[in-house]
Amino acid sequence: MCACGRPKFECRNEANAGLYEVADITCYASAAVEEHTGQEKFKPEPGQRFYAKEIDEELVTRRTFAPRGSEG
Ligand SMILES: [Zn+2]
């Protein structure tokens, strides 16, 4: 695998040159963490790790059923 998440044969293949474009999507869980860790005065304690925790699990929109292979 390449760092981009695709098989190297695919993304590093000259036959595929020009077949990709830039897109973006927002992960709101990561946004919450990055807003905290990106603050100017941010200074973590040794070993301190940050993760996104639901404020209220019942308010989070989730899939109730996902057919096989559609996760993600
Ligand atoms: Zn790649």
pLDDT reading at 7 higher than 80:
yes
- Rounded CA-CA distance 27/44 in Å is 22
3-state SS of 11-24 is: HCCHHHCCCCCCCC
* Token couple for 4: 């981009």
With cut-offs at 50, 70 and 90, classify the pLDDT of residue 3: very high
Centre of ligand 1 from the C-alpha of residue 71, in Å: 22
Expressed in angstroms and rounded, the spacing between residue 18 Cα and the centre of ligand 1 is 13
Q: Cα(14)–Cα(12) distance, rounded to whole angstroms?
A: 6
- Map out the domains of the chain as residue ranges: 1-40
> From the CA of 51, how far away is ligand 1's center (Å)?
27
Cβ-Cβ contacts under 8 Å for 29 (sequence gap 6 or more): 52
State pLDDT tens for residues 23-59: 999 999 999 999 999 999 999 999 999 999 999 999 9
Ligand 1 center–CA 44 separation, angstroms: 32
